[in-house]
Amino acid sequence: MSQPQFKQMRRAYGFDDVAIVPGGHHTINPSLVELSFKLGHLDFQFPFIAASMDGVTDVKMAVDFSRHGGLAVLNLEGIQTRYDDPDPILAEIAAAPKSEVTALMQKVYSAPLQPNLIGERIRQIKAQGGIAAVSATPMNTKKFAAIAADAGVDVFVVQSTVTSARHISTSEKGLIFDELVRNMRDVPVVVGNTVTFSATKELMETGIAAVLVGVGPGAACTSREVLGIGVPQVTATIDAAAARDTYYRESGRYVPIITDGGISNGGAMCKSFAAGADAVMLGSILAAAEESPGRGHHWGMATPHGELPRGTRVKVAIDTTLERILFGPTSRTDGRENLVGALRTAMGTCGARTIRDFQKTEMVIAPAIKTEGKSYQIAQG
Q: Rounded to an integer, what distance in angstroms lies between the CA atom of residue 211 and that of residue 207? A: 11
**Residue 154: which pLDDT band, with cuts at 50, 70 and 90?**
very high
The answer to whether the beta carbons of residues 83 and 59 sit under 8 Å apart is no
Q: Is 90 exceeded by the pLDDT of residue 375?
A: no
Q: Is 305 part of any domain? A: yes
Q: Rounded to an integer, what distance in angstroms lies between the CA atom of residue 278 and that of residue 9? A: 28
Mean pLDDT of 346-371: 93
Q: Is 337 part of any domain? A: no
**Residue 368: which pLDDT band, with cuts at 50, 70 and 90?**
confident
Q: Is 24 part of any domain? A: no
User: Which pLDDT score, from 0 to 100, does residue 284 have?
Assistant: 93
User: Which pLDDT score, from 0 to 100, does residue 161 have?
Assistant: 74
Tally of domains in the chain: 1
The larger pLDDT score, comparing residue 308 to residue 158, is at 158
pTM for this predicted structure: 0.94
Q: Is 256 part of any domain? A: yes
Mean pLDDT of 164-185: 74
Domain ranges, residue 290: 41-319
Give me the chain's average pLDDT, please: 92
Tens digit of pLDDT for each residue in 273-289?
999 999 999 999 999 99
- 212-242 burial, b for 16+ CB within 10 Å, e for fewer? bbbbbbbbbbbbbebeeebbbbbbbbbbbbe
The larger pLDDT score, comparing residue 203 to residue 310, is at 203
Q: Is 152 part of any domain? A: yes
Dmax (CA) of the chain = 72
Q: Is 70 exceeded by the pLDDT of residue 178?
A: yes
User: Which pLDDT score, from 0 to 100, does residue 168 have?
Assistant: 43
> What CATH number does residue 177 fall under?
3.20.20.70
Tens digit of pLDDT for each residue in 289-337?
999 999 999 887 777 777 877 878 889 989 999 999 999 999 999 999 9
- Phi and psi angles of residue 219, each rounded to the nearest 5 degrees, phi first: -60, -30
User: Which pLDDT score, from 0 to 100, does residue 170 have?
Assistant: 47
Residue positions annotated with a catalytic role: 221, 310
Residues in CB range of 360: below 8 A, 6 or more apart: 352
Percent of the chain at pLDDT exceeding 70: 96
Q: Is 162 part of any domain? A: yes
Tens digit of pLDDT for each residue in 95-132?
999 899 989 989 999 999 999 999 999 999 999 999 99
Q: Is 80 exceeded by the pLDDT of residue 374?
A: no
Tens digit of pLDDT for each residue in 43-72?
999 999 999 999 999 999 999 999 999 999
**Residue 1: which pLDDT band, with cuts at 50, 70 and 90?**
low
Distances in Å between the Cα of 155 and the Cα atoms of 83, 103, 111 are 23, 32, 26
Distances in Å between the Cα of 16 and the Cα atoms of 13, 22, 222 are 8, 17, 19
- 56-95 burial, b for 16+ CB within 10 Å, e for fewer? bbbbbbbbbbbebbbbbbbbbbbbbbbbeebeebbeebbe
Q: Rounded to an integer, what distance in angstroms lies between the CA atom of residue 164 and that of residue 193? A: 8
The answer to whether the beta carbons of residues 315 and 325 sit under 8 Å apart is no
Tens digit of pLDDT for each residue in 226-252?
888 889 999 999 999 999 999 999 999
User: Which pLDDT score, from 0 to 100, does residue 55 have?
Assistant: 94
Q: Rounded to an integer, what distance in angstroms lies between the CA atom of residue 184 and that of residue 191? A: 13
Q: Is 324 part of any domain? A: no
- Across the chain, how many H-helices and E-strands are there? 15, 14
User: Which pLDDT score, from 0 to 100, does residue 377 have?
Assistant: 73
Q: Is 177 part of any domain? A: yes
User: Which pLDDT score, from 0 to 100, does residue 169 have?
Assistant: 46
Q: Is 90 exceeded by the pLDDT of residue 3?
A: no
